[in-house]
């Protein structure tokens, strides 16, 4: 058995959001760092709210993020026999008992406790009644009456809870369904999970789960409860804070490695390094340095992270990543080497793949379809500007070879020979080539367009009315 086995256990009641994604990233990293196993468990026992489409979407998001899991996903809805087997074992060993109290009776016990200033709890009425199975009866775990449940949380440090604070919890409901805590313990044990990393909304379940392990005589895994990700105002994260689901980030043109790096940094650190490739994360993430304080989600930082990844990744890879967005933008199937050329020109300026693809537009439409910005035209396509374009048309038609260096030289000579400044010539030329005052180096743009397309653009702009 590997030393480290982790699992990610989403409930398929919605898409994978960034909080869940970050938990999955931590689980995956820990397993990969220690050469262990990373499993996926779909917690689909809520039959009303669980949907196949969400399971599919979660798996697709995991794949896109590069979080590969070992073996087939495990579905809780198919494992009732395992759960019931454990409940029966607890009944046989006397660590659990049948309870015949009605929900109204239990509510009354809770109310009484509340009125007495105590925690609302079941009062153990059936604990020693030795009831057998029967209509409307649930099964409860016999919780020790004294002592402490102590565990060393990987994130929060030592946590100790008095057993006396807990009541005899239900492990199989009256309808025969095992409860959540029982199922999680049964699965984590069955899957050989050694490290349970999850959101700290589950931290109050952990002492209860530990008691189930102990009652069954099973080894207790290590736990790590990561704090929630908050919005900039320290409130619960929502769309309002700019947070979206993983699938939306994918659609909007984020790079998966950028999202993984950003989310990993949100709750974990290594010195002051901000950007991590997936390989670096696997190398450095060993479960230490997890921050117990809740981190705030910052969309601008995520955008910055993505831009940095776009700038530093191999061009061929960037070209492959942007290709679907180029198709989506309606530019058709642009050959990879053209895409590489476009990425060179524009990647410094875009913060996501969709914006990058959009920035290609002026260079991918034919001269006749290039939209010319009216304001820029009014300012730069003046009679003087147009006369420069006509002159440059002649200059560039005899420029050979038509590459960035030669075009640059020809342009510089034109400026020098006519005692002009670059500032007089560049704006009309840029407006002619791009349709607006944006883009990259003029010589690179022209080299990308090629001679014919460059000349057509100059001609068209020179006669722009
Ligand atoms: N299904 C639970 C959730 O989505 C995860 C519980 C766990 O990781 O133990 O919050």
Domain boundaries, the chain: 5-76+230-284, 79-183, 313-364, 369-462
Nearest-CA residue for ligand 1 atom 5 is 9
Q: What topology does CATH give the domain 5-76+230-284?
A: Rossmann fold (3.40.50)
User: Which H or E element spans position 417?
Assistant: helix 404-417
Q: Which atom of ligand 1 is nearest to the CA of 199?
A: 10
Q: What is the token pair recorded at 170?
A: 């239900």
Instruction: Say how many residues make up the chain.
Output: 465
Distance from the alpha carbon of residue 51 to the mean position of ligand 1, in angstroms: 16
- Taking CA atoms, 278 is separated from 30, 66, 152, 266, 284, in Å, by 12, 9, 28, 15, 10
Return the closest-CA partner of residue 30 out of 181, 160, 221, 185: 221
Tokens, residue 74: 């495990």
Atom 3 of ligand 1, nearest CA residue: 10
* DSSP tally for the chain: helices H, then strands E: 20, 12
Contact assessment for residue 279 and residue 224, using Cβ atoms and an 8 Å cutoff: no
Q: Evaluate the CA torsion angle 121, 125, 128, 130 in order and state its sign.
A: negative
What are the Cα distances from residue 37, in Å, to 7, 45, 131, 186? 8, 24, 42, 18
CA nearest to 5, candidates 26, 30, 24:
30
**Which residues are designated catalytic?**
239
- Candidates 15, 199, 208: which one to mutate for ligand 1, based on the most atoms within 8 Å of Cβ? 199
Q: Which CATH class is domain 313-364?
A: mainly alpha
Q: 3-state DSSP call for residue 81?
A: helix
- In this structure, CATH architecture of domain 79-183: Alpha-Beta Complex (3.90)
DSSP-assigned letter for residue 167: -
Q: How far apart are CA 174 and CA 120, in angstroms?
A: 20
What is the best residue among 179, 198, 229 to mutate for testing ligand 1's pocket, by most ligand atoms within 8 Å of CB? 198
| Alpha carbons 97 and 218: distance in angstroms, whole number | 19
Atom of ligand 1 nearest to the CA of 205: 9
As a whole number of angstroms, the distance between CA 218 and CA 212 comes to 8
Q: Quote the ligand 1 centre to 232 CA distance (angstroms).
A: 25
Architecture in CATH of 369-462: Orthogonal Bundle (1.10)
Q: Strand pairing partners for 455?
A: none
Three-state secondary structure call for residue 327:
helix
CA dist., res. 34 & res. 2, Å (int): 8
Per-residue pLDDT in tens (0 to 9) along the chain, 465 residues = 789 999 999 999 999 999 999 999 999 999 999 999 999 999 998 889 999 999 999 999 999 999 999 999 999 999 999 999 999 999 999 999 999 999 999 999 999 999 999 889 999 999 999 999 999 999 999 999 999 999 999 999 999 999 988 999 999 999 999 999 999 999 999 999 999 999 999 999 999 999 999 999 999 999 999 999 999 999 999 889 988 999 999 999 999 999 999 999 999 999 999 999 999 999 999 999 999 999 999 999 999 999 999 999 999 999 999 999 999 999 988 999 999 999 999 999 999 999 999 999 999 999 999 999 999 999 999 999 999 999 999 999 999 899 999 999 999 999 999 999 999 999 999 999 999 999 899 999 999 999 999 999 999 999 998
Q: How many CB atoms lie within 10 A of CB 7?
A: 29
Distance (angstroms) between ligand 1 centre and the Cα of 10 equals 6
What are the φ/ψ torsions at residue 191 (nearest 5 degrees)? -85, 0
Contact residues of ligand 1, CB 6 A cut-off = 9-11, 43, 184, 198-199, 202
């Amino acid at each position: 058995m590997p030393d480290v086995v982790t699992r990610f256990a989403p409930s398929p009641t919605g898409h994978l959001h960034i909080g869940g994604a970050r938990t999955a990233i931590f689980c995956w990293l820990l397993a990969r760092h220690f050469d262990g196993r990373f499993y996926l468990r779909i917690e689909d026992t809520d039959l009303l709210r669980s949907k196949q489409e969400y399971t599919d979407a979660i798996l697709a998001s995991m794949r896109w993020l590069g979080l590969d899991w070992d073996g087939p996903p495990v579905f809780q809805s198919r494992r009732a026999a395992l759960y019931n087997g454990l409940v029966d074992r607890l009944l046989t060993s006397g660590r659990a008992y049948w309870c015949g109290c009605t929900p109204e009776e239990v509510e009354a016990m809770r109310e009484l406790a509340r009125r007495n200033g105590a925690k609302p709890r079941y009062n153990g009425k059936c604990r020693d009644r030795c009831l057998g199975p029967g209509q409307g009866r649930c099964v409860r775990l016999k919780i020790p009456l004294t002592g402490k449940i102590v565990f060393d949380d990987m994130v929060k440090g030592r946590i100790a809870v008095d057993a006396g604070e807990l009541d005899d919890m239900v492990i199989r409901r009256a309808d025969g369904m095992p409860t959540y805590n029982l199922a999680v313990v049964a699965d984590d044990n069955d899957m050989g999970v050694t490290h349970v990393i999850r959101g700290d909304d589950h931290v109050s379940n952990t002492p209860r789960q530990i008691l189930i392990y102990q009652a069954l005589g099973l080894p207790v895994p290590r736990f790590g409860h990561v704090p929630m990700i908050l919005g900039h105002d320290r409130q619960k994260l929502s769309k309002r804070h700019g947070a979206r689901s993983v699938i939306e980030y994918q659609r909007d043109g984020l790079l998966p490695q950028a999202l993984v790096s950003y989310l990993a940094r949100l709750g974990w650190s290594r010195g002051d390094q901000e950007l991590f490739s997936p390989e670096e994360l696997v190398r450095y993430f060993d479960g230490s340095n997890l921050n117990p304080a809740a981190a705030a989600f910052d969309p601008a930082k995520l955008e910055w992270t993505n831009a940095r990844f776009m700038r530093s990744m191999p061009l061929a890879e960037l070209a492959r990543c942007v290709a679907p967005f180029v198709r989506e933008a309606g530019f058709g199937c642009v050959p990879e080497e053209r895409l590489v050329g476009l990425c060179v020109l524009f990647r410094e300026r875009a913060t996501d793949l969709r914006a990058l693809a959009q920035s290609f537009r002026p260079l991918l439409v034919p001269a006749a379809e290039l939209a010319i910005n009216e304001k820029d035209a009014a300012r730069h396509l003046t009679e003087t500007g147009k006369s420069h374009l006509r002159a440059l048309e002649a200059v560039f038609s005899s420029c050979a070879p038509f590459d960035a260096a030669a075009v640059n030289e020809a342009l510089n000579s034109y400026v020098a020979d006519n005692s002009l400044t670059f500032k007089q010539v560049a704006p009309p030329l840029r407006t002619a080539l791009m349709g607006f005052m944006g883009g990259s180096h003029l010589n690179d743009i022209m080299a990308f367009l090629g001679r014919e397309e460059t000349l057509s653009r100059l001609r068209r702009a020179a006669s722009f009315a």
